[in-house]
Amino acid sequence: MSEPFQSFDEVRIINLVDRKDRRREITEQLDKIDGLASNISFFDAHRPESPGEFPSLGARGCFESHLSILREARDRKVQTLLILEDDLDFTRDGRARMEPIFAELGSKEWSFFYGAHVMPANGRRGLAEIGADEPIMTTSFVAARGAAIPELVEFLQAMSKRPAGSPDWGPMHVDGAYTVFRQLNPNRRTFAAFPSLGRQRSSPSDVTQSQMILDRWAGTRLIASHLRRGYNWMKRR
């Protein structure tokens, strides 16, 4: 396989500096596709001191990481930006489908692309356009292009400064913020891959409290890690 991620000017991977486990796991995933090609780099994310007006500490951290990456891309005049989150797991068939989907995307006028998402297929396969009013959950594999990048930066910056529950849209989870932006800007066309090219890997969460009881104690976290790796391996098959 060639290097499908070369279709994008920049690929940034959000990784908390203290989550070396996730950095290692996403690197293992990339080694099966591009490896760390020249246009792929990690964004070193840090936990904020407080959630502020956001739903949680993790929600604020994820939102601000996306905003920082988008702002840097705007300042460098990047035309096509792909953002990956470090808990992304590429599906086995997704790796094979990536190159033709990216090639087809290149022939479209698009502003946003979701390689991974949570929404019903409703008979859609391959690359499909998504209506502006259709919400899309998760931002673990999302791309932005052209004028949509500075517009989204301005929108997210304004949102982050408002109080929670503001009628003008206050702080929220970043996937919700992308959805609101798309709804308010129906001229910015969105496409997505069906089925998803990846899914969220099972790992201890920084956005929500872990539901695996073995994560609660240091002595059993290694067991939890091995169980997750087995679960993720089975999901990729």
pLDDT in tens, 189-205: 999 999 999 998 765 55
The pLDDT of residue 203: 55
8 Å CB contact between 16 and 61: yes
CB of 90 within 8 A of CB of 198?
yes
β-pair partners for 42: 13
According to CATH, what is the number of the domain 4-201? 3.90.550.10
Tokens of 49: 């001191």
What pLDDT score does 3 carry? 83
Residue 232 pLDDT = 44
pLDDT at 15: 98
Length of the chain: 237
What pLDDT does 2 receive? 66
DSSP-derived secondary structure for 130-189: E-TTS--B--SEEEEETTHHHHHHHHHHHHHTSPTT-TTT-S--HHHHHHHHHHH-TTS-
Confidence (pTM): 0.85
Return the pLDDT at 217.
47
pLDDT at 103: 96
Domain boundaries, the chain: 4-201, 209-237
Average pLDDT, the chain: 88
The token pair at 227 is 């169980």
* Cβ proximity of 138 and 117 under 8 Å: yes
Give the residue ranges of the chain where pLDDT is below 50: 1, 207-237
Handedness of CA 116, 120, 124, 128 (dihedral sign): negative
